[in-house]
Structure 1
């Protein structure tokens, strides 16, 4: 009974908050109701109230002018190789304007310089999501993937970027570097250390794991070793050869 009464009170306070812009009383009331009885409907209303409060705070904090100023401060820090400080300014810029692809792109570059590759990849992908035509998003993402030695993925990223900016030199250079690394694996020119490192990295890749766990591909790999005639037939299948190429680039399969 107490929980139900508190939920009704919280619901009324939530309606009032839409005018008063003060969601805290409703949130506190729903929390008290949940301590009395954990009801799914009350929990949903609490989540709605907390989301409304967060959205309001973001709206009130939104300021494109300050966002631009913070981004420029970040750019100055980046030029001076003060990457942690640059990250702070870009982060504040994004708090002021979460829809700015340039700030995500610039912070991705900082994270890459700092060796925080997963964070850099996430920012680069967000940059592309916000503006699929912005070439910097693809150069940032491709650079992170290249440093992670995911050359096939980096190549795909650079090629996707070239669809939007066919003459972009950074993208073209990225394609060239990836092709060099992929060809190095194809020729079997990797050192034992490079091969071991690339194989260990590849075995953590879900895509490589899926290829190796595919019964059809397992048979293909057996045929490449034991049945040259069947292997020749497999090579006529573009889908199979694409997967073989990924395994070669990953150092899992070596073709002499």
Structure 2
């Protein structure tokens, strides 16, 4: 980040995401690189995917807040920063500053920040603790057996990160709604589909179509080394929370 070599950063994180498509750290860091290039719509898409994968990863909320603010969505930015403060359990100075800036802009536009939040039902998981995946299946182009190159949803659910993302989405209709229009979803589905949906292997392990063992990949020091845009301790994703996040 000090060198502002955003092209190289995007290249590295894109390569990493081809291996681990739902890694919230890689998505969030690529979002930061896109923001650095002024490509805020792409930054927003990546940040939305990151918070869907891990809502406790506060740095991703910060990057989503920045992208939405620059794109003119002051209310959305304010909400993203508020979610980031909640994830941090109090809010870093950076997160609070982002929230106050977005709040001020929203008020200038005539928004009423004093209005109580609507009581939105948050969706219940299905039987056995698993979510109702019909909406997610629709987002991925269907829940069938992978015809026409589309992924097999049952196979996708063998991926632990995909399972977690499904749980997060089904418990948060607003997040689900945002992702319905996110082209990264279709892109990710094609990635999984091209690998045969990862069928088999209980932990997303080396099942059909050459799907790699995700646990091994996550512990690969080479992938860890390219996280040069991360840093700082914090909650969510196991690494680098909102403190010190690039704004």
Task: With the length of structure 2 as denominator, give the TM-score of the two structures.
Answer: 0.43
Q: Which has the higher contact order (CA 8 A, sep 6+)?
A: 2
Bigger Cα Rg:
1
Task: With the length of structure 1 as denominator, give the TM-score of the two structures.
Answer: 0.41
- Structure number with higher helix proportion: 1
